[in-house]
Amino acid sequence: MTEELEVLDPQEHLQDFFKKEKYRQRISQMGVVGKTSIVVDFEDLNAFDQELAEELLENPDEYFEYADNAAYAQLRIEDPEYAEKTEVVTVRIVRLMETGQLRKLGSKNIGKLVMVEGIVVRSTPVRPMVMQAVFRCKRCGETTPVNQTGPFLRAPFVCKNPNCRAKGPFDFVQKESTFIDSQDLRIQERPEDLPAGQLPRTLNIKLIGSEIVDEARPGDNVSIVGTVRAVAPTLPTVGKLRAFILHVDANSIEVLGKEPETVLPSPEEEEEITKLAKDPWIHRKIVNSIAPSIYGYDHIKEAIMYLLFGGVLKNLPDITIRGELNVLLIGDPGTAKSQLLQYVAKLAPRGLYTSGRGTTAAGLTAAVIRETRGGMSLEAGALVLADKGIACIDEMDKMRPGDRVAIHEAMEQHTVSIAKGGIVATLNARTAILAAANPALGRYEPHRTVAENISLPVTILSRFDLIFILRDQPNKDADSKMSEHILELHRKGLSPVEPPIPSDLLRKYISYAKGIKPVLTKEALQRLKDFYMAMRSASETEGSPVAITARQLEALVRTAEARARSALRKEILAQDAEAAIAIMRRSLEEVGIDISSSKFDIDLIMTGKPKSLRDRLQTVLSTIMEMQKETGLVEKVALLNELETKYKIIGGEAERLIGQLLREGTIYSPREGYLKKT
């Protein structure tokens, strides 16, 4: 009896496995869907026979052959007609027990079956590869099939016709040869799996078979099961090298969805999360858990909380409205901006941190790379890799203007479009951006406008939902508390404040909350509308600045959604709307105030010039045009007199306004002391 058990044929044993109800159904459906492969959960195989599963991991080449034959034998029973058409069935194994780490793959894994996870950074076009090549002898016309392995096409040694036995030459007969689709991918470790301070490793993946090619695109998060191979690179004159290069021949590929949120919490964690959400002070707790070692800045931590939770993406038939918030921090040196950004990048379920000077447009969006075999391929950049996550960009003002332009589209449209080297593509970059910048003059000058204080173009400023200014002002009480906090931190070497929610739990809480899509209630809608109308009506009187635009209204909705989401609520209450209005007010007060008329003026962010300045420039310009009609050229002295007597614009200010118009090229000076409109 025992001997019989030992000589169990693996193929027959595997066929018993395919006779199970679940797989019989899958096999009988193959003909309906027109597939030639069947997906097997490794857990099922392990439960069926542990030894068999282990053999498969150790000798995948041999056992996959058994499995393919067993599945084909079962298909002949289930659907004999379809079995006639397809000559082979491929078994694809998914979800092994453990995931191998990219950086741990080495010589011990060669020839074994592994599962690796990572982000696709590059993919080649799909190319047909010959499996069985048919050659015709030029002398006698006899055809010889040759099964192909390895990278190069091999011809037969001799003609198989016994009368001919010629050693060549042969013609390749494309019509009678069999081809299969193939594609190469390159995957890279996920940013969240990287050990600190390490470079991410990459691994090449070879996909063969029409059902697994073109499944994943750059930026996708994938899980790949396959056999590890090592190939020696060849040098033209010397031959093969001694150091081999690892790659994986994929057996199956699963796209894990780009959401880092796909990791479901365990039932205990879920209980903890729902318990947290019931706390009436949950928002306070979350704010206090964000960077607890950094003192103060409650309003900024609140804004970061909204940024982490994010609003709801709306996909309308004609347009898409982004759900993620963008926040900009402008601050004096030493106000812990970089520390905040580094912390957020660590805390977010998927976060990336980059800094100004070391960042290029291609590095942020996507690079087009020339391949070794010719042709171009795309490589995803930071904003694409941080899709559905948070990108923290430090020192934004130090970036080259040419590179900064690349962020525009990602910030509002949430895509990255590229047209280079024959590749025209649009990649997703649904990324919330948290940026930090220093004031243009080193310190923030309160009596100058925001546009003068920040050396960022208006086009970028207008795309931030919330902008805050961190001022470093001496203040006895605050300074005393701050110094105690910092010195205590150095004395103990620990944070003086314990976060109410540990960061691991907070990360899971954020992931969990992302699944909730809160809806506006009537009261909340009314509050937002009232605030918007009140701010707009302030701008109706002639000559007063525009206080708020539709972009800010959308930002208000996003903020309110994020607040409801952070308490795991399905609807947005009036209190969420109030909180959103309060933080928007704070942002507008810090940024959008026209100094000369001390009114809110969103045009400061939208156009870079306050309304009052634009009005005065207009006055100067119209005066020049009137005088030009009479005299042809306008004498500067006469112009200054006219402005002073008629519009009360005094000498120094008039000079400054004329200087600005000259700089912008609206007027020019044909000769010394004279001006003319361009």
Residue among 303, 395, 391 at smallest CA distance from 358: 395
Model pLDDT for residues 87-110, shown as the tens digit of each residue: 888 999 998 988 888 888 999 999
- pLDDT given at position 447: 67
Measured at the alpha carbon of residue 221, what is the angle toward residues 218 and 227, in degrees to the nearest 5?
95
**Residues in Cβ contact with 195 at an 8 Å cutoff, skipping those fewer than 6 apart:** none
Integer Cα distance of 366 and 416 in angstroms: 8
CB 227 within 8 A of CB 248: yes
Average pLDDT over residues 440-449: 75
Q: Please give the helix or strand (H or E) that residue 148 lies within, else none.
A: none
Amino acid of residue 517: K
Tell me the CATH class for 612-677. mainly alpha
Model pLDDT for residues 206-249, shown as the tens digit of each residue: 999 888 998 888 777 899 999 999 998 888 888 888 899 999 99
* pTM, two decimal places: 0.70
Residue among 401, 409, 407 at smallest CA distance from 426: 409
Q: What percent of the chain has pLDDT over 90?
A: 24
User: Above 70 in pLDDT, residue 451?
Assistant: no
Superfamily of structural domain 267-491+502-515: P-loop containing nucleotide triphosphate hydrolases (3.40.50.300)
- pLDDT given at position 273: 86
Listed by start position, the domains of the chain span: 2-94, 102-257, 267-491+502-515, 612-677
CA distances for 467 relative to 221, 330, 441, 449, 605, angstroms: 32, 8, 18, 14, 10
User: Above 70 in pLDDT, residue 544?
Assistant: no
Model pLDDT for residues 56-91, shown as the tens digit of each residue: 999 999 999 999 999 999 999 988 888 888 888 899
pLDDT band of 459, cuts 50, 70, 90: confident
- pLDDT given at position 59: 93
- DSSP state string for 628-647: HHHHSSEEHHHHHHHHHHHH
SS3 label, residue 369:
strand
- pLDDT given at position 546: 55
**Residues in Cβ contact with 499 at an 8 Å cutoff, skipping those fewer than 6 apart:** 288, 289, 292, 506
Sign of CA dihedral 148, 150, 152, 158: negative
pLDDT band of 449, cuts 50, 70, 90: low
User: Above 80 in pLDDT, residue 51?
Assistant: yes
Cα 351 to chain centroid distance, Å, stands at 9
Helical residues (DSSP H) of 267-380, grouped into ranges:
267-277, 282-289, 298-309, 337-347, 361-364
Query: Percent helix, strand, coil in the chain (nearest 5)?
Result: 40, 25, 35
- pLDDT given at position 632: 78
**Cis peptide leading into 545, omega within 30 of 0?**
no
Tokens of 597: 């008329």
Average pLDDT over residues 315-329: 88
φ/ψ of residue 581, rounded to 5:
-65, -40
CB 429 within 8 A of CB 387: yes
The bridge status of strand 221-231 relative to strand 170-188 is unpaired
CB 188 within 8 A of CB 202: yes
CB 376 within 8 A of CB 422: yes
Place of tokens 């003068």: 452
User: Above 70 in pLDDT, residue 486?
Assistant: yes
Residue among 114, 120, 64 at smallest CA distance from 91: 64
Model pLDDT for residues 291-309, shown as the tens digit of each residue: 888 888 899 999 999 999 9
Integer Cα distance of 226 and 92 in angstroms: 9
Does the domain spanning 102-257 belong to CATH 2.40.50.140?
yes
CB 182 within 8 A of CB 128: yes
pLDDT band of 5, cuts 50, 70, 90: very low
Amino acid of residue 623: T
- pLDDT given at position 604: 59
Residues forming a β-bridge with 393: 354, 435
Model pLDDT for residues 554-602, shown as the tens digit of each residue: 899 999 999 999 999 999 999 999 999 999 888 877 775 544 454 555 6
* Average pLDDT taken over every residue of the chain: 84
CB 305 within 8 A of CB 283: yes
Tokens of 208: 């063969």
- pLDDT given at position 2: 42
Q: What number of residues does the chain have?
A: 678
CB 526 within 8 A of CB 576: no
User: Above 60 in pLDDT, residue 541?
Assistant: no
Model pLDDT for residues 260-277, shown as the tens digit of each residue: 444 567 788 888 888 888
Tell me the CATH class for 2-94. alpha beta
Burial class from Cβ neighbours inside 10 Å (0-12, 13-18, 19+) for residue 609 reads buried
